[in-house]
Amino acid sequence: MACYVQKFGGTSVGNIERIQHVARLISETVSKGHQVVVVLSAMSGETDRLTKMAKDLTPDPHGRELDVLLSSGERVTIALMAMTLQSLGINARSFTGRQVGIVTDGAHTKARVSRVDTERVLAALGEGVVPIVAGFQGINEASDVTTLGRGGSDLTAVVLAAALKADTCFIYTDVDGVYTADPNMVPTARRLEKISYEEMLELASLGAKVLQTRSVELAAKYQVPVEVLSSFQNGPGTRVVKEDADMEQVLVSGVTGDRNQAKVTVVGVPDQPGIAAKIFVAIAEAAINVDMIIQNVSQDSLTDISFTVPRGDLRAAMSLVRELAKEVGARTVEVNEEIAKVSLVGVGMRSHSGVAARMFAALSREGINIMMISTSEIKISCVVEEKYMELAVRSLHQEFGLETAPKTHADAVRNN
């Protein structure tokens, strides 16, 4: 008997028919004799509907009240799912965030889980009950409802899987796994059978919206085996697991394109120590996420500093930077919103050199100019003109042969 956490996202429980379908999926697992804990999101569209009402009433709603508001959506789905499973003869019971023991800090709308009090859910499992848990929510020490931020239901699922030492945390969504590239951009993109936590983290933070970043961090920390799969079709998904020997054979696992980028250049900055620090400390204090930074070679004691920010933060960043530029005596500030970031991700890069060179050569062959570069141990990102993004992603997908499944060590063993 295994213990599984099954998490279903908003589209998977988006209407009566989908709820009935998911109930059948759950009952199949239960009927095989496994312990199952179900985690649900709100019905798709519900969070947006509630958020819109709040914004219609006040431009800046209080976080505590937003949490009371937004946490109501999951209460609806857990109740509907529990009663549906009961009608199928399954001993299901709904659990709110409080009842399942998710205790968080006090940071409303983006609370961090501080502990999980599992007594009540363990007692339920001991009685043969299938707990149906409201994702996305917990309570703080003051016994007020908190929410875990967008995608927080993934976090609930992984946190519970870790606390219950579940065998696998299944994340059901509307796609059947993680792909080598966005299939809308690259028709030959291929579903990955497995991927390491580290790769998934890079992909998640690069904007592949399959799994929430913090939930991947947590899964990695507690070594929770995760599988991302579709609730709309049968078949396997993508397993997110510890890096293994097979993976290291693969140079590149995926390629992504991200247009949510804007480039800011402070032109003609006096080339003195401490000026870059002054700019980036101020931006960090405004909670704006700077991604890449480049400082050009100094000419005539003047230098140019470029950096990228998410487009949503551009206005806030600009008002800050314009002021700072004046202060430090820079010549002017330039903005380019028509850029995109193209990235390669793969744990194989750790042990193989030459990936960057192949990437630059491939882009060059297509006549694509590289504006900025950043690298990590398992990732290389290039900023290019936005209009070239799809072309860049497609040519890199081809360059690294991602359309065909790699011959891995395990394949070799299996084929013998």
Binding site for its own copies (CB under 8 A): 16, 19-20, 50, 53-54, 56-62, 64-69, 71-73, 75-76, 78-80, 82-84, 86-87, 93-94, 96, 99, 143-145
Smallest distance from its own copies to CB 69, Å: 4
> With respect to its own copies, which residue has the nearer C-beta, 51 or 398?
51
> With respect to its own copies, which residue has the nearer C-beta, 68 or 328?
68
Smallest distance from its own copies to CB 47, Å: 12
Smallest distance from its own copies to CB 112, Å: 22
> With respect to its own copies, which residue has the nearer C-beta, 80 or 317?
80
> With respect to its own copies, which residue has the nearer C-beta, 68 or 293?
68
Is 151 within 8 Å of 215 (Cβ atoms)?
yes
SS (H, E, C) the chain: CCEEEEEECCHHHCCHHHHHHHHHHHHHHHHCCCEEEEEECCCCCHHHHHHHHHHHHCCCCCHHHHHHHHCHHHHHHHHHHHHHHHHCCCCEEEECCCCCCEEECCCCCCCCEEEECCHHHHHHHHCCCEEEEECCEEECCCCCEEECCCCHHHHHHHHHHHHCCCCEEEEEECCCCCECCCCCCCCCCCECCEEEHHHHHHHHHCCCCCCCHHHHHHHHHCCCCEEEEECCCCCCCEEEECCCHHHHHCCCCEEEEECCCEEEEEEEEECCCCHHHHHHHHHHHCCCCCCCEEECCCECCEEEEEEEECHHHHHHHHHHHHHHHHHHCCCEEEEECCEEEEEEECHHHHCCCCHHHHHHHHHHHCCCCCCEEEEECCEEEEEEEHHHHHHHHHHHHHHCCCCCCCCCHHHHHHHC
> With respect to its own copies, which residue has the nearer C-beta, 68 or 282?
68
Smallest distance from its own copies to CB 126, Å: 16
Smallest distance from its own copies to CB 28, Å: 18
> With respect to its own copies, which residue has the nearer C-beta, 80 or 228?
80
Smallest distance from its own copies to CB 156, Å: 16
> With respect to its own copies, which residue has the nearer C-beta, 137 or 265?
137
> With respect to its own copies, which residue has the nearer C-beta, 118 or 295?
118
Smallest distance from its own copies to CB 116, Å: 17
Smallest distance from its own copies to CB 84, Å: 5
> With respect to its own copies, which residue has the nearer C-beta, 54 or 370?
54
For residue 240, give both structure tokens: 């997110």
Smallest distance from its own copies to CB 107, Å: 17
Phi and psi of 209, rounded to 5°? -80, 30
